[in-house]
Amino acid sequence: PEKCEFDQIEVKYLGYCINQTGVAMDSDKVQAILNWPSPSSIKETQCFLGLANFYRQFIADFAQRTSFITQTLKKEHLKKGFCWTPGAESAFQDLKKAFIQAPILRHPDTSKQFIVVTDASERAIGAALLQKQDDDDLEHPVFYLSHILSDSERNYSVLERELLAL
């Protein structure tokens, strides 16, 4: 009985805040990300990326945004020791801003049409699943997906990369 709550407007569950509109990130976790200092080691970088990755479905182009950070963890970069680059710092600050601006992901309504938007760059692909809801005529995000391209995928044409995002 102590763990049960009934007739709640919003519920915090496993790092998410869920209400009738949709799902949002837990504000305590977002605050932890915003307060995170720039990493100064491999372990700190891995810990930050682990926490940020938990919420990647809320961030458009997450893979693209984190690509400079993940590059600092690649073997060829680590041969000389850990090096936090200006590009990684810029990506780190950009990602923090994205967490501040992250939308509430709407609950999907299977009776309504979905909209899929894809994007491809030379390094990553991304997609957004959107849907218009009854409360307004705007396209609201339901989910974001993204992926860093492998070396062979980078050789694809722009059209092939856009199709890969689907």
How do 114-120 and 124-132 pair as beta strands?
A: antiparallel
What span, in angstroms and rounded, lies between the C-alpha atoms of 45 and 154? 25
pTM for the predicted model, two decimal places = 0.86
Do residues 68 and 49 touch, judged by C-beta distance below 8 A?
Answer: no
Q: pLDDT class for 130, splitting at 50, 70, 90?
A: very high
Q: At residue 4, does pLDDT exceed 90?
A: no
Check residues 163 and 144 and name the one with the higher pLDDT: 144
pLDDT value for 76: 77
CA distance 139 to 103: 12
Q: Is it the case that residue 9 has pLDDT exceeding 60? A: yes
At residue 107, does pLDDT exceed 80? Answer: yes
* Residue 66, pLDDT score: 95
The domains located in the chain, with CATH, are 10-165 (3.10.20.370)
∠145-142-36 over CA atoms, to 5°? 60
Task: Dump pLDDT digits (tens) for 87-97.
Answer: 999 999 999 99
Confidence of residue 1 (pLDDT cuts 50, 70, 90): low
**Mind listing the pLDDT tens digit for each residue in 29-88?**
999 999 999 999 999 999 999 999 999 999 999 999 999 999 999 887 777 788 899 999
127: pLDDT confidence band, cut at 50, 70 and 90? very high
Please give the angle made by the CA atoms of 21, 140 and 164, to the nearest 5 degrees.
130
Per-residue pLDDT at 60:
94
Whole-number percent of the chain with pLDDT over 70: 99
